[in-house]
């Protein structure tokens, strides 16, 4: 049984929210909707882009992982996500962290391209294979997320289990894992950030928009590239509704 610091009291008022995005295509639509302004880099040695603003009663800090200077591509995956989560907590001391982005969904569990999911239960790692005694929980992750059924309702989103890995494609073993744990959204960042938030005692929620269906025969890469822009636009609409709901009047962690 893993131990984490006691979570923030449900009575904690949410005054500062950090939004973490991996890809600029996912995050920029919300920057534009909320009219956030770009800030100086959080660290001169890192590629992250920082945008900030105020929506009603809440202050917003939005971080995108930026572009890998060696590859010219967005910095996706658990390494960049872990770093972003740690830096965000240390720099902004948020009352709530939301990791937003795109994901694979599952038609076997009613998923469709364009669906929005808000995390529930525990976040998982599906591609960590550590065949050593005592390492099963570390491999699986199983980091809890903050219950957020009211936020999901405000967003018009579904709720579901989110599982994280570093590959776009899926193995047969991972498909069995998804079925066993009834995973609704497969992404590349959420559980890494959930782990950092869990260790630091910061409330955490993931919000994911489906670009492709994991259990569909079409290659994930083709569906992802075709649907990224549409799914990101739908994500930004839902995120704007959620952020404006959070900022409409003072809300507590227990109100999520």
The DSSP call for residue 254 is: G
DSSP H or E stretch at residue 241: helix 220-247
Indicate the SS3 state at residue 121.
Answer: coil
- Cα–Cα–Cα angle for 100, 104, 107, nearest 5°? 130
**Strands 58-64, 49-55: parallel, antiparallel or unpaired by DSSP?**
antiparallel
For residue 172 the two structure tokens come to 């047969």
Enumerate the β-bridge partners of residue 252. Answer: 13
Question: To which residue do tokens 């079409």 refer?
Answer: 218
Find the Cα–Cα–Cα–Cα dihedral 84, 90, 93, 94, rounded to 10°. 10
Residues serving a catalytic function are 26, 212
| Residue of 237, 243, 234 lying closest to 103 (CA atoms) | 234
């Amino acid at each position: 049984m893993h131990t984490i610091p006691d979570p923030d009291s449900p009575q904690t008022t949410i005054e500062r929210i950090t939004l973490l995005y991996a890809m600029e295509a996912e995050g920029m639509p919300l920057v534009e909707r909320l009219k956030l302004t770009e800030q100086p880099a959080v660290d001169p040695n890192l590629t992250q882009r920082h945008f900030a603003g105020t929506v009603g009663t809440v202050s917003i800090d939005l971080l995108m992982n930026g572009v890998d200077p060696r590859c010219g591509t967005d910095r996706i995956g658990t390494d960049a996500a872990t770093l972003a989560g740690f830096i965000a907590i240390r720099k902004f001391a948020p009352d709530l962290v939301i990791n937003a982005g795109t994901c694979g969904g599952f038609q076997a569990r009613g998923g469709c391209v364009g669906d929005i999911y808000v995390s529930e239960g525990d976040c998982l790692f599906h591609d960590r294979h550590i065949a050593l005694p005592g390492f099963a929980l570390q491999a699986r992750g199983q980091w809890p997320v903050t219950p957020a059924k009211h936020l999901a309702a405000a967003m018009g989103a579904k709720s579901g289990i989110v599982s994280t890995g570093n590959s776009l494609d899926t193995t047969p073993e991972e498909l069995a894992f998804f079925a066993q744990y009834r995973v609704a959204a497969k992404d590349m960042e959420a559980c890494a950030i959930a782990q950092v938030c869990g260790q630091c005692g910061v409330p955490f929620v993931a919000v994911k928009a489906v670009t492709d269906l994991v259990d569909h025969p079409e290659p994930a890469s083709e569906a992802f590239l075709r649907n990224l822009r549409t799914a990101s636009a739908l994500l930004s609409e839902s995120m704007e509704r959620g952020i404006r709901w959070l900022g409409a009047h003072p809300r507590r962690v227990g109100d999520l």
